[in-house]
Every structure is written in C-alpha cells, then in structure tokens.
Amino acid sequence: MTDAASALPVGSVDRRASGWYGVLCLIATESALFVYLLFSYYYSAVQLPPTWTPEPHPSFAYSLPATIAMLLSSAAVWWSTRSLHGRALGAHRLGLAFAIILGLIFFAFEGLEWASKPYMLSSNLYSSLFFTITGFDLAHLAIGIVGLCAVLIWSLLGYLDYRRESPTVIMAAYWHFVTAVWIAIFFTLYITPYFR
C-alpha cells in the first residue's frame, strides 16, 4: 500500500502536457479556417466595386466596445495565469471570473451588432461573409467561455495549483488565440472599409 506522497499524480503536472500540443494543433487548424474566411472577404473586396457592401463605412457602436472587452478579457486570463504561477490562487480565480464576464459582455455586444443589421445571412455576398466570419468567431468564443468556466470550477475545487497548471495554460493559449482572431476580424470588417 502506498501513501499519498509517493503515489503517482493524477492529471498533467507540467504545462507541456499532451493537451498543450493538442491545443497548438487546434490553433493551427482553426487559424487556417479563419485565413480562408478572411481571404474570401479580401478577394471579394478587391474584385468587386465598392458598392458590394451595404455598409461602406461600418459603425463602431457595438464592435469597438466588444473589442475592448475582448482585449481586457485576454489581459485577465494573462493575469490569472501569472497569479497561478505566483501561487496566488485567489487572484487566479478572480482573473478567470473577470475573463468569463468580459467574454459574455463581448458576446452580448456581438448579439446587438447582429440584431442591428438590416440584412440577413442570405441577403447578399457581404452579409454571407459577415455572418459566417463573425459566427465562427462567436462559436469559438462560446467554447472558450465553457473552457474557462471548467478551469474556474476545477480551481475552486482545489484541483489546480502552481504545479498542476496545464488546464489554465492550455485554456489561456486558446483564449489568446480567440482574441487574436477577433482583432484580425475587427481590422478586416471595420477598419479596411475606410481605406477604400
């Protein structure tokens, strides 16, 4: 019979656990998906006249607050990860909670953005690209929120500490990826139309 001190650990201890490489592969494949989608937008913008979009100058009313919320949520995840490394579990959990709330705020602003549009998915090429690109981003965001909630629950249950950090690091990598994707989308859909 072995005591708890000599027993093998359950779960991954090091941040370079199998899940780390799994999330890197996921990020690589999903990056390709968004590259294809954004390339479709840029190709259409170059090939078609400026009137191809019903919004020659998109409004920032919802997209800008959503972008700020997303950037702040990514900062909260970074702070949470750093706090876990520094053995500050309270700050770690608080950072995760802030990130989740800010992710939900982003989701709400994007919902308002969708509701404000006078067109639907099948109205024209631009609307199809807009809703497809932002819809895929929202789907990835929803998965990220669920993942952050799981990490927060595990932390509250005492399953995470400065050694057993891989779930936090893995979800942080995914969340920063989702943030980077949104920045690319924001630049593409809301900034580049002003260059024409």
Range in 18-22, 42-46, 63-67, 111-115 with the lowest mean pLDDT: 18-22
Residue 12 lies in a domain: no
Identify whether 129 is part of a domain.
Answer: yes
Q: Supply the pTM of this predicted model.
A: 0.89
pLDDT above 70: percentage of residues in the chain: 91
Q: Mean of the pLDDT values across residues 57-61?
A: 91
| Any domain includes 2 | no
Whether 7 maps to a domain, the answer reads no
Question: 156-180: per-residue pLDDT in tens?
Answer: 998 887 777 888 889 999 999 999 9
Nearest to 146 by CA among 97, 100, 95: 100
Report the C-alpha gap between 81 and 172 in whole angstroms: 7
Q: How many CA atoms lie within 13 A of 61 on its CB side?
A: 10
Percent of the chain past pLDDT 90, that is, above it, reads: 71
CA 140 to CA 149: how far, in whole Å? Answer: 14
User: In angstroms, rounded to a whole number, what is the distance separating the alpha carbons of residues 190 and 55?
Assistant: 10
Q: Which residues of 177-189 are buried (b: 16+ CB within 10 A; e: fewer)?
A: bbbebbebbbebb
Q: pLDDT at residue 68 above 70?
A: yes
pLDDT above 80: residue 5: no
Q: What secondary structure does DSSP assign to 159-186, as a single string?
A: ---SSS-HHHHHHHHHHHHHHHHHHHHH
> Is residue 28 in some structural domain?
yes
Q: What is the separation of C-alpha 173 from the centre of its chain, rounded to a whole number of angstroms?
A: 9
Q: What is the largest CA-CA distance in the chain?
A: 76
- Banded pLDDT at 60 (limits 50, 70, 90): very high
Residues in the chain: 196
Tokens of 122: 């099948």
pLDDT, tens digit, 9 for 90 and up, residues 121-164: 989 999 999 999 999 999 999 999 999 999 999 999 988 877 77
The arithmetic mean of pLDDT across residues 20-40, rounded, is 95
Number of domains in the chain: 1
Looking at the domain assignment, is residue 115 inside a domain? Answer: yes
Confirm whether 146 is domain-assigned. Answer: yes
Domain that holds residue 100: 18-43+60-195
Distance of alpha carbon 53 from alpha carbon 22, whole angstroms: 38
The CATH number of residue 146's host domain is 1.20.120.80
